Amino acid sequence: MAQPLKDFYFFIITIPDRLYPFRMEVEGQWVRGRRAYDEAVAEQVENLHRLGYKLTLYREAFHFLGSLIFIALATFISRTFLGGDGALYTLFGAAVLALAYQEFYVHPKIYNQHPQKGILDCLAWVVPMIAYLFVIK
């Protein structure tokens, strides 16, 4: 993967980290954003060896939002440029394959992500897509 593409990928997957709204005390200072997120992750991983419910729910909310944005963009692209809803199925299928690759190969390898987290992430992305397909039928 070319470096600009890697940088863009890293930028996208770290949006929740940078926007973390909860404050944490780090070295005697109250901080938000990336520093607070990193501290919250470090505390959870140290104590539970996994993310806690608050961080998991926060991350899954971003996955769900990403799914809604993807649905809107895929619908726009399929209807405007690709000629209809048939292309939408192809775009959704490609997205599911890319998600599976990312969640079950890339993230476990790079971030030591547990398979349960990958399943949760895929559900947060795929369930809205399936619901949308039932709604447009």
- 43 and 98 part of one domain: no
- 59 and 79 part of one domain: yes
Q: For residue range 53-103, list pLDDT tens digits in order.
A: 788 888 899 999 999 999 999 999 888 888 777 888 889 999 999 999 999
- 44 and 59 part of one domain: no
Q: How many domains are contained in the chain?
A: 2
- 36 and 72 part of one domain: no
Q: Which two tokens stand for residue 115?
A: 């398979």
Range of the domain at 24: 14-49
- 61 and 37 part of one domain: no
Q: Which two tokens stand for residue 97?
A: 């394959």
Which residues, other chains included, contact 62 with Cβ-Cβ below 8 Å and sequence gap of 6+?
15, 16
Mind spelling out the 3-state secondary structure of the chain? CCHHHHHHHHHHHCHHHHCCCCCEEECCEEECCHHHHHHHHHHHHHHHCCCCHHHHHHHHHHHHHHHHHHHHHHHHHHHHCCCCHHHHHHHHHHHHHHHHHHHHHHHHHHHCCCHHHHHHHHHHHHHHHHHHHHHHC
- 123 and 72 part of one domain: yes
Q: For residue range 11-52, list pLDDT tens digits in order.
A: 888 888 888 888 887 888 888 888 888 888 877 765 555 677
Q: Distance between CA atoms of 21 and 37, rounded to whole angstroms?
A: 9
Q: Distance between CA atoms of 99 and 4, rounded to whole angstroms?
A: 20
Residue 119 within any structural domain of the chain: yes
- 22 and 67 part of one domain: no
- 23 and 59 part of one domain: no
Q: For residue range 100-120, list pLDDT tens digits in order.
A: 999 999 889 887 888 888 899
- 94 and 38 part of one domain: no
Residue 8 within any structural domain of the chain: no
Question: Is the backbone of residue 76 left (phi > 0), alpha (psi -120 to 50) or beta?
Answer: alpha
Residue 36 within any structural domain of the chain: yes
- 40 and 95 part of one domain: no
- 36 and 62 part of one domain: no
